[in-house]
Structure 1
Amino acid sequence: MASFEDILVKKHMKRTKARIMILKVLEKSLPLTAGEVYESVRGKDTRLSLSTVYRNCEALAEKGLLSRTTTMSDGLTRYEYAHATPVYYAICLSCHRIFPVDVELEKGYRRHMDEEYGFEVADPKVEIYGYCKECRASGRAKAYKEKMGI
């Protein structure tokens, strides 16, 4: 695998310390907001600001090195490393934890989307909403459902 420095050069981007730290944090993490990325990298470089992290996350997403996602109903943009194969997630409605899950889309779904709807799939994302076993066991899922009238 190529180094992050090499990847940035191939994308015609400057090889900055901030960009390399952001890529390292997101390479092995769940989707994070710019604020969460900032919290992860600020100990390594106290001169970095939240706005610098946000601008770099946006620049990396524009070049296809990160993916933007708005998982959960909070509407916050999260960034994740653009892996070669898509990663799908289960999201707990009660505690908001995000879990990677090993599921597959139906074989031939791209062709079906194109033929049936005239829609060319570019970046499939799967988000499955529900309740994690910890929330179900503790009763938080039941309390959340009652609060939401579900």
Structure 2
Amino acid sequence: MASLEDILVKKHLKRTKARIMILKVLEKSLPLTAGEVYELVRGKDTRLSLSTVYRNCEALAEKGLLYRSTTMSDGLTRYEYAHDTPVYYAICLSCHRIFPVDVDLEKGYRQHMDEEYGFEVAEPKVEIYGYCRECRASGKAEEHKGKMELL
């Protein structure tokens, strides 16, 4: 497996300390906002600013090293490391917890999407929204559903 420095060079990006720290954080985490990434890396380099982290996340996403997603209803962009195999997520509508799930898309889904809808799949992303075990057990899920019915 290539080092993060080698991956940056291959993508024609400078090997900066900020980019390497961002990739290291996201390589082993769930999708995070630029602010969350900033909180995790600023302890290692107090000279980094939130805008530097955001710009670097965007540059890494443009080169395909990170994926951007706007999961959840908060509309915030989250970044995740572009692993070789897609990672799918379940997202709790009550507590907003995100966790990876092991689900498979049906075989031939790419061809089906193209034939049925004229849609060429570039990046499969699955996000399943619902309520986690803890929120259901504590009653928070029902409380959240009640609030949503009022809207």
Q: How do 1:115-126 and structure 2 match up within 5 A?
A: 115-126=115-126
Aligned to 1:88: 88
Counterpart for residue 72 of structure 2:
72
* 1:16 corresponds to: 16
Note the C-alpha offset of 1:9.
0.5
Question: What is the distance in 2 between the residues matched to 1:86 and 1:99?
Answer: 14
Which residue does 1:134 correspond to in 2? 134
Q: SS at 2:75's partner residue?
A: coil
How many aligned positions are there? 150
**Shift, 1:136, TM fit:** 0.4
Quote the residue 2:50 is aligned against: 50
Task: State whether structure 2 residue 27 is matched by structure 1 residue 27.
Answer: yes
Kindly, what percent of the aligned residue pairs are identical? 89
* Post-superposition offset of 1:56: 0.1
CA distance in 1, matches of 2:122, 2:8: 22
Secondary structure, counterpart of 1:149 in structure 2 = helix
SS at match of 1:99: strand
Query: Could you say what secondary structure the match of 1:45 adopts?
Result: coil
Whole-angstrom CA distance in 1 between matches of 2:19 and 2:73 = 28
Gaps of 5+ in 2: none
Using the alignment, how far apart are the partners of 2:19 and 2:3 within structure 1? 12
Residue type at the aligned position of 1:70? T
Structure 2 length-normalised TM: 0.98
SS state at 1:6 partner: helix
* Letter of the 2:118 counterpart: G
Q: Report the Cα offset of residue 148 of structure 1.
A: 1.1
